[in-house]
């Protein structure tokens, strides 16, 4: 039944809402035998590290880890294909971005009004080789200069993830490079550490994208407590649908179009209710707000087929009022939950100084302004990556790969050739952290069967294994 949905449905909202799709598409890759000896890599940077294998992972020790210049010698290629952007970047260990390339599926987005998995997979496949080559060329490097390849392995659409993982393994296999599997949402959070040198653990993060609405407490690399999440849709999905129903140009995705039109509107003219006002937790819900927006659009008899550029003055004003009112309430919901989450986080980790806001929706100026007020009132500092690093990109993957690579979390180089039917380790539904008991949502727990242990629990198990 799920497969039928996959083939018949032209477009789905974002990827984290359809557990069935993931279950069909995911299998675990066979693991490297325990304590296997890894043959030295031909990569000069990889050779520079001493390494040993424990279980399924290699741990390495840096010869000069106290020497900060050492990092300059690490260079990682990051590949991102979890949703609708094909992205690659090359980043140096000191945070220098050597190149960044993104091919977006603007026309497909506009045509289908959302991400269509099969079409998105085809689009990734068509451009992935060129995107990676361009990233290397623009960095004036070849594969031989790399220390490792990092790639998003989840969460995301498995058809799309597979394209990036296949490419990453082929580069790593052909050039004997270690490979780092990256969690997409961790990458959204950690790219803030590339931008803001002062940002050290523990810190808080609000990660807002098309498929996720996460409030997390980052204790240390790979260790997260999930304070809140969405019980249905994420805020980006609500922006995208609002844009589509208002007849806006979807080619840059819905969010920027709503943000732009909202500037012309009166944000208090349409009365929308703030979701989950009386829930004393840090969870989110945007499905109800979407419905309120749809009803307001119907009440004003707005025709989505008539582009806003051709609307009459009155029609355009009505659309702008709805855009502005929606944006205000959507962000009020974020503000209320963030305030509570900061209190919870400070109880757990009183030394927190920063709150990161990242993910595509964090590129919205109104979002940044309003959240800055909340964060400052709590005596914390807001860290928002620049818009180009908030939306999906290869830099965040390369950087997160670097962070894990530095502490020895990576897989050995794959074989140079892999059979066509090789089963990749893809994690379409992969929680970032363990749920904070106080914030657990019954509604959500009933809807979502997890198929993968969280990143945090995997890393915790790995370090326990290392200690024994």
83 binds ligand KG4 (CB under 6 A): yes
Instruction: Kindly tell me which of 176 and 209 has the beta carbon lying closer to Zn ion.
Output: 209
Q: Under 8 Å CB-to-CB from 100, ≥6 apart: which residues?
A: 87, 88, 89, 135, 138, 388, 393, 394, 395
- DSSP secondary structure of 144-191: GG-SEEEEEEESS-HHHHHHHHHHHHHHHHHTT--EEEEEHHHHHHHH
Residues that bind Zn ion (CB under 5 A): 209, 392
Least distance (Å) between residue 80 CB and Zn ion: 8
Site for ligand KG4 in 100-159 (CB under 6 A): none
> Is it true that the peptide bond before 352 is cis, omega within 30 degrees of 0?
no
229 binds ligand KG4 (CB under 6 A): no
Quote the tokens at residue 403: 């962070």
Instruction: Kindly tell me which of 141 and 195 has the beta carbon lying closer to ligand KG4.
Output: 195
364 binds ligand KG4 (CB under 6 A): yes
Q: Which stretch binds ligand KG4 (CB under 6 A): 32-40, 87-95, 252-260, 377-385?
A: 252-260
Quote the tokens at residue 173: 């296999």
Least distance (Å) between residue 256 CB and ligand KG4: 4
Among ligand KG4, Zn ion, none, what does residue 211 contact (CB within 5–8 Å per kind)? ligand KG4
The candidate with the shortest Cα–Cα distance to 401, out of 191, 250, 235, is 191
Among Zn ion, ligand KG4, none, what does residue 256 contact (CB within 5–8 Å per kind)? ligand KG4
210 binds ligand KG4 (CB under 6 A): yes
The candidate with the shortest Cα–Cα distance to 104, out of 260, 233, 261, 250, is 250
What is the distance between the alpha carbons of residues 157 and 431, in angstroms, rounded to a whole number? Answer: 14
The candidate with the shortest Cα–Cα distance to 412, out of 20, 31, 129, is 31
Among Zn ion, ligand KG4, none, what does residue 413 contact (CB within 5–8 Å per kind)? none
239 binds ligand KG4 (CB under 6 A): yes
What is the distance between the alpha carbons of residues 441 and 464, in angstroms, rounded to a whole number? Answer: 29
Instruction: Kindly tell me which of 240 and 411 has the beta carbon lying closer to ligand KG4.
Output: 240
User: In this structure, what DSSP letter does residue 284 have?
Assistant: B
Least distance (Å) between residue 359 CB and ligand KG4: 4
392 binds ligand KG4 (CB under 6 A): yes
Terminal Cα distance for the chain, rounded: 45
359 binds ligand KG4 (CB under 6 A): yes
Is 362 in contact with 396 (CB distance < 8 Å)?
no
Q: Which value, in Å, is the radius of gyration of the alpha carbons in the chain?
A: 22
What is the distance between the alpha carbons of residues 452 and 428, in angstroms, rounded to a whole number? Answer: 9
Quote the tokens at residue 129: 């080789």
172 binds ligand KG4 (CB under 6 A): no
256 binds ligand KG4 (CB under 6 A): yes
186 binds ligand KG4 (CB under 6 A): no
Site for ligand KG4 in 259-278 (CB under 6 A): 259
412 binds ligand KG4 (CB under 6 A): no
232 binds ligand KG4 (CB under 6 A): no
What is the distance between the alpha carbons of residues 174 and 307, in angstroms, rounded to a whole number? Answer: 49
Least distance (Å) between residue 135 CB and ligand KG4: 18
Least distance (Å) between residue 393 CB and ligand KG4: 8
202 binds ligand KG4 (CB under 6 A): no
* Sole binder of ligand KG4 in the list 100, 209, 213, 230 (CB under 6 A): 209
Residues that bind ligand KG4 (CB under 6 A): 14, 83, 209-211, 236, 239-240, 253-256, 259, 359-361, 363-364, 391-392
């Amino acid at each position: 039944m799920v497969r039928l949905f996959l083939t018949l449905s032209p477009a789905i909202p974002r990827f984290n809402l359809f557990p069935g799709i993931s279950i069909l598409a995911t299998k675990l890759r066979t693991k490297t035998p325990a304590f296997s000896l890894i043959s030295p890599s031909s990569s000069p940077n990889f050779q520079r590290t001493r390494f040993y294998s424990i279980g399924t992972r290699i741990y390495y020790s840096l010869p000069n880890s106290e020497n900060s210049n050492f990092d300059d010698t690490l260079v990682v290629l990051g590949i991102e294909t979890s949703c609708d952007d094909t992205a690659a970047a090359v980043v140096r260990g000191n945070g220098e971005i050597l190149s960044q390339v993104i091919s977006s599926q603007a026309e497909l987005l506009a045509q289908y009004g959302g991400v269509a998995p099969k079409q998105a997979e085809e689009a990734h496949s068509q451009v992935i080789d060129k995107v990676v080559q361009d990233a290397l060329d623009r960095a004036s490097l070849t594969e031989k200069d790399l220390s490792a390849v990092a790639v998003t392995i989840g969460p995301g659409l498995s058809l799309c993830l597979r394209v990036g993982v296949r490419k990453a393994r082929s580069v790593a296999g052909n050039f004997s490079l270690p490979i780092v599997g990256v969690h997409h949402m961790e990458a959204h959070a950690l790219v803030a550490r590339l931008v803001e040198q002062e940002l050290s653990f523990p810190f808080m993060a609000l990660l807002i994208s098309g498929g996720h609405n996460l409030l997390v407490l980052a204790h240390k690399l790979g260790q997260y407590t999930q304070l809140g999440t969405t019980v249905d849709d994420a805020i980006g999905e609500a922006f995208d649908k609002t844009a589509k129903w208002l007849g806006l140009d979807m080619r840059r995705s819905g969010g920027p179009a709503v943000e732009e039109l909202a500037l012309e509107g009166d944000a208090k003219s349409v009365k929308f209710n703030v979701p989950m006002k009386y829930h004393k937790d840090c969870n989110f819900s945007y499905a109800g707000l979407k419905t309120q927006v749809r009803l307001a659009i119907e009440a004003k008899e707005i025709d989505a087929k008539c582009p806003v550029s051709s609307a009459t003055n009155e029609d355009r004003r009505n659309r702008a009022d709805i855009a502005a009112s929606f944006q205000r309430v959507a962000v009020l919901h974020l503000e209320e939950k963030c305030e509570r989450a900061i209190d919870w986080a400070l109880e757990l980790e009183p030394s927190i100084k920063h709150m990161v806001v990242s993910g595509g929706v964090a590129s919205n100026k109104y979002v940044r302004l309003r959240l800055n007020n909340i964060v400052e009132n709590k005596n914390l500092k807001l860290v928002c990556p620049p818009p180009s690093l908030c939306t999906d990109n290869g830099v965040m993957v390369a950087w997160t790969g670097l962070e894990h690579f530095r502490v020895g979390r990576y897989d050995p180089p794959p074989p140079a050739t892999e059979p066509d039917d090789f089963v990749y380790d893809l994690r379409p539904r992969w929680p970032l952290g363990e749920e904070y008991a106080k914030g657990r949502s019954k509604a959500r727990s009933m809807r979502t069967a997890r198929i993968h242990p969280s990143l945090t629990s995997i890393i915790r198990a790995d370090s326990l294994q290392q200690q024994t």
